[in-house]
Chains A and B, each alone.
Chain A
């Protein structure tokens, strides 16, 4: 489902074999361009695996997106900078709602 808003926030989910869905990514747009991607990692109980500065891509983390060429946004993968950043605090409330939603194991309605 797409939004006509110029700065929407999209929640990305995967379909599980039992018909439930799990939200695992948040994509935050500004002026029609993806600015921040949040990748959520969960443990077996559906609790969030926190950011791990030593192995940042194994815990929950975020990526900045930048304009790679005109009109094409891409993940900010500079070779000399850690591309995995700590998730900004402002998304804590949304993430708590996502954890609750995932743990309720909602089924996708067709």
Chain B
């Protein structure tokens, strides 16, 4: 099977991110017992209360949704290009870290419908992002 490379050499030479690894991956969907991104988000983030970190290739930026405190802040996660030449090693993907807040929500249930990044609805953003942490 020819897999389309989306992020070349993400974690090092030959360690690419492929198109089929964008959005909620199989293990994440399986744990949420769904095949649908919206339901996976509802399970992991809204019900279990986990944080979400992801890399959005379109803006070349890491984002974090930190659900542990209210309001729930969506932020740009700190990136350290001096740490590595490879994108995947440049960010800790820890949503506890301080970063520029781009949106805030009082209710976790409001995020899916209302969050936009780069004027793009969140469902499209996450479908085209590489998830770097759900914890």
* Chain B interface size, under 10 / 10 to 19 / 20 to 34 / 35 or more: 10 to 19
| Contact B49–A75 (Cβ < 8 Å) | yes
Closest chain A residue to B89 by CB distance?
Answer: A17
Q: Tell me which of A2-10, A66-74, A88-96, A100-108 binds B.
A: A66-74
Task: Out of B50, B68, B86, B92, name the residue touching A57 (CB < 8 Å).
Answer: B68
Q: Does A47 contact B (CB under 8 A)?
A: no
Closest chain B residue to A17 by CB distance?
Answer: B89
CA–CA, A57 and B66, complex, Å? 10
Chain A interface, number of residues (Cβ within 8 angstroms)? 20
| Contact A58–B68 (Cβ < 8 Å) | no
User: With A17-B89, A41-B96 known to touch, is A83 a contact of B68 (CB < 8 Å)?
Assistant: yes
| Contact B47–A72 (Cβ < 8 Å) | yes
Residues of chain B lying within 8 A (CB to CB) of residue A83? 68-69
**Most B Cβ at <10 Å: residue of A17, A58, A72, A79:** A17
Q: Given A25-B135, A77-B49, list of 17 further CB < 8 A pairs?
A: A17-B83, A17-B84, A57-B69, A58-B98, A68-B47, A68-B48, A73-B48, A74-B47, A74-B48, A75-B49, A76-B49, A77-B68, A79-B70, A83-B68, A83-B69, A84-B68, A84-B69
| Contact B68–A75 (Cβ < 8 Å) | yes
CA–CA, A77 and B107, complex, Å? 11
Q: How far is the CB of A59 from chain B (nearest CB, A)?
A: 9
Within 8 A of A (CB), among B27-54: 43, 47-50
CA–CA, A61 and B92, complex, Å? 18
| Contact B84–A75 (Cβ < 8 Å) | no
Residues of chain B lying within 8 A (CB to CB) of residue A12? 135
Encoded as 1 (CB less than 8 Å from any A CB) or 0, chain B from 87 to 121 comes to 00100100010100000000000000000000000
